[in-house]
C-alpha cells in the first residue's frame, strides 16, 4: 500500500511537471496566446484553493476568471449587474442593493449612478489613459483574460447556486465590466458614499426677484459632524459598509530567527460582492504570489510572495472634499468662479425598470464634480437658489489599484513595497503594513487623497467647512474662488492629489500596527506627527480595539522570540478591552452578594435575580469572546446599551490624556445611573428571549451552514476585540444568528531560511458562496475552532497535497479534450489533456 502511494505521488508530480513544461515554455510576456487562445493550469489543493499557472498575464487572468466563476458565479454576476446599472431591470427599483457593498439605498439610485458612469464613458476613458497615470499593459491583459475566463466557465458549466441558477441576468462580461468593478472599489468611500445625493439632486426653480432675508434655508451641519462641532472618531463612513481591519508587522529584532513576521486581518463583508477569494498566481520567471483577491478583481490584494508579506487596513484619510457653489439665482444651474458664470453639465440618464416604465433623471456636474444634496445618511446639503454643493473625488480618475496590487506582488522586500506604492499611487482608502524575510517592517498611509492642506483649509473653508474639517477631515471649500483648488504636486500621477512625500510612513521599528485609527500611534514609542488633517488626527482618543491591540503587540515585541505561532494565538485570543476596562467599575455598581444561599438563584437557568445574578455571571466571565466564554453575551448586550445612551465624556472617571493614550480614558463611572439601567435592560432582554445569562458565546453567535450551527468566535469592534465580528442580532433566533462582516482572509506569515515562506492562512467564510459547493463552509468550521490552513506556496508543497487536483482550462476546446479523464483512476487528480 505504501509503495502504491509513492508511485501514485511520483506519477502525479511527473505528469504535472510535464504539463507545466509544455504549457508554460517561456517567461511571461503580455503577448497574444497561441491557436488555442487563452489558457492556464489550475491546481487545486485542500479547501479548494487554486494555484493558477499561465504563460502570460492574459492567460493568468483567464485562469483566475474561470476559477472565481466556479466558486462565486452568482455573487460575481450580481456585481456586474450593479456596475452596468441594471439592478432595477431585473429586481425592481425599490429593493436596496447589497447593504454590505453599497451606500445606495435603492436599486434605482445605484442604477442611475452607474448607468451615468457607463453613459459618460468614464471607465473607457481611464482605461485609455497611458500608464503610469492609467493602467499598464499587464493589468489590461489580466482584465481581458479574466473576462474571457469567466465567460468560458459560463459557456461550459451549469450554474448550481440556487441564488442565480437559471436567472436571465447571468451572462457574459467584458473587460470594461471588469474595470468597472475596479472603478466601483476606487470610489467606494468617495462618490460611492454620495450615490443617493448625486442621483436625487434637482435644481430649484429660478428666482425672478431678489431673495428676501430669511428665505434661504439655514445651513446644516455636514455629514458626520455633531451639532457641537466636536470631533467624531475615525473616518466618515456609512452604515451600509463595514470595511475595517487589523494588521501588525514585527521586526526581525523581536523574532526568534531574525526574519520578519506579519499578521493580516482585514474585516470585510461575509456576503455579497465584496468577499475575498484565495488563490496563488504564477507566471514562471515573472510572478509568484499567494493571497486574497476581492471578487471580480484579477490581482491579489493582500498576500505574500517568497520573501515579502503585506496587508491593508482602511485608513482615516478622507478621500473626497466638498465645494460650496455660489449660484446665479436667476439660473441655479449656473455657478460663479472668480465672478464669471459657468454652466453645470446636465447628464440625462435612463434606467430600465422591471414591470414598469423606464425612469429618466438628470444629474448635474461641475468643474469640481457632481452636485449632491446628501452624503450617505448623515444629513442634507440643500440645493437652494443661491447655494449648492459639489463633490470632488480624485479616485474617480484613479484606475491604478490593480497596478498597485501587481507591483506589491512583485516586490522583494519592504523597500520595494514602498517604492511600488510611490510609483503606482493606486490605493484609494487603505494603509499598507508589510514585513519581509530580511526582518524589515513598514507602515505607510499611501492613499489617493485630495490635496487639502491645513493652510488651504484655513484660507478657503466656508463657515460649514470650519466645523467639518477639524472635526472629521472633510473639507468644504469656497467654490467661487479658483485659487481654492488643491493645486498640483509634482510627485503626483494626477492633478489635485498628494505626492509620496506627504504620506505618513514608518519603517523598521520593533513593530508597526494599525486597527483603523490614524497613523499617529502606528508604534506607541515612535508617534507619527506633522501630517495634514485630511490624513487623520493626532493626539485624539484611540478606539478600544486600537488600545487593546497596541497593548498586546507592544508586550509581544518587548517579550521577543516571536514566531508564526504567536501571531496565530494573538488572532484568536479574543480579549475584550472594554471588558477589562469596565470590570472594576461594574463590580462596584453591583449589590453585595446574598448572605442567604437560598437567595442565590441560578442565573444560567433563566430565573435571574436581576442585577445580582447578572453580576455573578460577569464576575466569572473570562473577559474574552471565545466560543466557550460564559457571560460574553450578557456583557455585549450591556455594553451596547450603555455606550448608546452615555456620551463618551460621561462613561469614564479618568478622561483621555494625549500623554497616556493607551491607558486613558479608564475606570467606568459606576456612580452613573446609566450603568445599572443598562445592565437591567440587558438582563430583561435575554430573559425575554429565553437565553440564559451565562449561555456560552458560541451558542449565541453562530452561522448556519447546511442546516448546522457553526459557533463563531470574536466580537464587535466596540468591545475592543481584535477578531472583529459584526453579526445580526435576532434574539428570537437564538442570538447573533448570522455574520454580516468582520474577519475575512487571515494570513500569519514568517520565514525560516528554507526558501519557502512559513505561512498560515484562513478564509473565515470559505472559498465559495454557493451552498452546493464542498468549499462553502469547510474553512468556516476551522475558523470556529481557531484552526488554520498551512499555505502551499512552494512547488514541492503543492505537489504533495493529498487533495491535489490538476485541471487545464482553455478558451477553445482542443483535440483530445476530455474533462472526465483522470491521471489514475481513484487518485483524486483530475488531469485534463493539454
The catalytic site residues sit at 245
Q: How far apart are CA 525 and CA 532, in angstroms?
A: 21
Selection from 444, 398, 383, 395 nearest residue 419 by Cα: 444
User: Which residues sit opposite 741 in a β-bridge?
Assistant: 269, 726
The label of the residue with cell 456620551 reads 647
Selection from 99, 82, 644, 679 nearest residue 351 by Cα: 82
User: Which residues sit opposite 371 in a β-bridge?
Assistant: 390
* Count of beta carbons in the 10 Å neighbourhood of residue 599: 10
Q: What angle do CA 804, 806, 810 make, to 5 degrees?
A: 160
8 A C-beta contact, residue 342 and residue 335:
yes
The β-bridge relationship of strands 276-283 and 302-304 is unpaired
Question: Can you read off the three cell numbers belonging to residue 407?
Answer: 507591483
Crossing angle of helices 401-410 and 137-156, in 10° steps, is 100
Distance, CA of 217 to chain centre: 38
Rounded to whole angstroms, what are the CA distances from 767 to 73, 296, 720?
A: 12, 14, 28
The β-bridge relationship of strands 652-654 and 505-507 is unpaired
Q: How far apart are CA 584 and CA 746, in angstroms?
A: 34
8 A C-beta contact, residue 176 and residue 83:
no
CA dihedral 258, 263, 264, 270 (to 10 degrees): 150
679: three-class secondary structure by DSSP: helix
8 A C-beta contact, residue 115 and residue 349:
yes
Q: How far apart are CA 703 and CA 51, in angstroms?
A: 29
Q: What are phi and psi of 542, to 5 degrees?
A: -90, 155
Task: Give exposure, 534-557, as e/b (b: 16+ Cβ within 10 Å).
Answer: bbbbbeebbbbbbbbbbbbbbebb
- Integer distance in angstroms from the first to the last C-alpha of the chain? 30
User: Which residues sit opposite 39 in a β-bridge?
Assistant: 810
Listed in sequence order, the residues at least 6 apart from 551 whose beta carbon sits closer than 8 Å to its beta carbon are 577, 662
Q: What angle do CA 348, 182, 515 make, to 5 degrees?
A: 120
8 A C-beta contact, residue 762 and residue 567:
no
Amino acid at each position: 500500500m505504501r509503495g502504491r502511494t509513492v508511485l501514485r505521488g511520483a506519477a502525479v508530480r511527473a505528469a504535472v511537471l510535464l504539463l507545466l513544461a509544455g504549457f508554460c515554455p517561456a517567461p511571461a510576456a503580455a503577448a497574444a496566446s497561441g491557436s488555442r487562445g487563452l489558457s492556464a493550469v489550475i491546481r487545486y489543493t485542500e479547501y479548494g484553493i487554486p494555484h493558477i499557472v499561465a504563460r502570460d498575464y492574459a492567460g493568468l487572468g483567464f485562469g483566475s476568471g474561470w476559477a472565481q466563476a466556479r466558486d462565486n458565479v452568482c455573487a460575481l454576476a450580481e456585481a456586474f449587474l450593479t456596475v452596468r446599472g441594471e439592478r432595477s431591470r431585473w429586481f425592481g427599483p425599490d429593493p436596496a442593493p447589497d447593504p454590505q457593498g453599497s451606500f445606495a439605498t435603492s436599486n434605482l439610485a445605484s442604477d442611475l449612478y452607474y448607468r451615468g458612469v457607463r453613459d459618460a464613458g468614464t471607465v473607457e476613458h481611464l482605461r485609455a489613459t497611458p500608464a503610469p497615470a492609467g493602467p499598464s499593459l499587464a493589468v489590461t491583459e489580466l482584465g481581458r483574460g479574466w473576462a474571457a475566463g469567466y465567460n468560458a466557465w459560463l459557456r461550459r458549466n451549469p450554474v448550481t447556486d440556487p441564488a442565480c441558477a437559471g436567472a436571465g441576468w447571468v451572462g457574459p462580461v467584458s473587460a470594461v465590466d471588469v474595470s468597472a468593478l475596479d472603478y466601483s472599489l476606487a470610489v467606494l468611500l468617495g462618490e460611492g458614499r454620495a450615490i443617493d445625493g448625486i442621483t436625487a439632486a434637482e435644481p430649484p426653480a429660478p428666482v425672478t426677484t431678489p431673495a428676501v432675508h430669511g428665505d434661504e434655508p439655514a445651513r446644516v451641519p455636514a455629514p458626520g459632524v455633531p451639532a457641537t462641532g466636536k470631533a467624531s472618531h475615525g473616518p466618515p463612513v456609512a452604515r451600509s459598509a463595514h470595511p475595517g481591519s487589523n494588521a501588525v508587522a514585527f521586526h526581525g529584532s523581536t523574532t526568534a530567527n531574525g526574519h520578519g513576521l506579519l499578521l493580516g486581518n482585514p474585516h470585510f463583508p461575509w456576503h455579497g460582492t465584496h468577499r475575498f477569494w484565495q488563490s496563488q498566481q504564477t507566471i514562471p520567471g515573472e510572478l509568484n504570489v499567494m493571497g486574497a483577491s476581492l471578487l471580480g478583481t484579477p490581482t491579489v490584494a493582500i498576500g505574500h510572495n517568497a520573501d515579502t508579506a503585506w496587508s491593508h487596513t482602511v485608513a482615516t484619510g478622507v478621500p473626497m472634499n466638498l465645494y460650496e457653489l455660489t449660484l446665479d439665482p436667476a439660473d441655479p444651474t449656473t455657478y460663479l468662479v472668480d465672478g464669471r458664470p459657468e454652466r453645470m453639465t446636465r447628464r440625462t440618464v435612463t434606467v430600465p425598470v422591471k414591470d414598469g416604465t423606464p425612469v429618466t433623471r438628470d444629474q448635474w456636474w461641475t468643474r469640481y464634480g457632481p452636485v449632491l444634496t446628501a452624503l450617505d445618511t448623515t444629513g442634507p446639503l440643500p440645493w437652494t437658489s443661491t447655494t449648492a454643493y459639489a463633490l470632488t473625488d480624485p479616485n474617480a480618475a484613479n484606475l491604478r489599484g490593480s497596478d498597485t496590487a501587481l507591483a506589491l506582488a512583485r516586490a522583494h522586500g519592504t523597500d520595494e513595497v514602498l517604492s511600488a506604492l510611490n510609483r503606482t499611487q493606486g490605493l484609494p482608502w487603505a494603509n499598507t503594513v508589510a514585513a519581509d524575510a530580511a526582518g524589515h517592517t513598514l507602515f505607510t498611509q499611501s492613499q489617493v487623497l485630495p490635496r487639502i492642506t491645513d493652510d488651504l483649509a484655513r484660507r478657503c473653508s466656508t463657515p460649514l467647512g470650519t466645523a467639518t474639517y477639524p472635526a472629521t477631515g472633510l473639507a468644504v471649500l469656497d467654490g467661487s474662488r479658483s485659487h481654492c483648488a488643491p493645486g498640483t504636486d509634482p510627485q503626483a500621477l494626477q492633478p489635485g492629489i498628494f505626492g509620496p512625500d506627504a504620506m505618513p510612513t514608518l519603517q523598521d521599528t520593533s513593530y508597526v500596527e494599525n486597527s483603523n485609527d490614524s497613523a499617529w500611534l502606528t508604534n506607541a514609542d515612535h508617534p507619527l506627527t506633522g501630517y495634514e488633517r485630511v490624513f487623520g488626527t493626532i493626539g485624539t482618543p484611540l478606539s478600544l480595539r486600537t488600545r487593546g491591540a497596541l497593548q498586546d503587540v507592544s508586550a509581544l515585541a518587548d517579550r521577543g522570540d516571536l514566531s508564526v505561532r504567536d501571531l496565530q494565538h494573538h488572532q484568536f485570543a479574543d480579549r475584550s478591552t472594554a471588558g477589562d476596562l469596565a470590570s472594576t467599575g461594574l463590580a462596584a455598581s453591583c449589590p453585595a452578594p446574598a448572605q442567604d444561599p437560598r437567595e442565590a438563584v441560578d442565573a444560567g437557568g433563566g430565573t435571574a435575580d436581576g442585577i445580582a445574578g447578572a453580576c455573578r455571571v460577569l464576575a466569572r466571565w473570562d473577559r474574552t469572546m471565545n466560543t466557550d466564554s460564559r457571560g460574553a453575551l450578557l456583557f455585549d448586550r450591556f455594553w451596547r446599551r450603555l455606550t448608546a445612551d452615555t456620551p463618551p465624556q460621561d462613561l469614564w472617571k479618568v478622561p483621555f490624556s494625549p500623554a497616556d493614550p493607551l491607558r486613558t480614558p479608564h475606570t467606568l463611572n459606576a456612580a452613573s445611573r446609566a450603568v445599572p439601567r443598562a445592565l437591567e435592560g440587558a438582563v430583561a432582554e435575554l430573559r425575554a428571549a429565553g437565553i440564559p445569562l451565562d449561555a456560552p458565546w458560541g451558542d449565541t453567535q453562530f452561522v448556519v451552514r447546511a442546516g448546522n450551527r457553526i459557533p463563531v468566535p470574536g466580537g464587535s469592534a466596540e468591545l475592543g476585540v481584535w477578531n472583529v465580528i459584526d453579526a445580526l442580532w435576532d434574539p428570537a433566533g437564538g442570538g447573533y444568528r448570522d455574520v454580516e462582516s468582520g474577519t475575512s482572509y487571515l494570513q500569519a506569515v514568517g520565514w525560516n531560511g528554507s526558501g519557502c515562506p512559513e505561512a498560515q492562512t484562513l478564509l473565515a467564510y470559505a472559498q465559495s458562496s454557493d451552498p452546493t459547493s464542498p468549499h462553502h463552509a469547510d474553512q468556516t468550521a476551522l475558523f470556529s475552532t481557531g484552526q488554520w490552513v498551512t499555505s502551499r506556496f512552494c512547488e514541492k508543497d503543492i505537489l504533495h497535497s493529498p487533495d491535489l487536483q490538476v485541471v487545464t482550462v482553455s478558451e477553445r476546446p482542443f483535440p483530445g479534450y476530455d474533462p472526465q479523464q483522470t491521471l489514475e483512476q481513484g487518485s483524486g487528480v483530475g488531469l485534463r489533456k493539454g
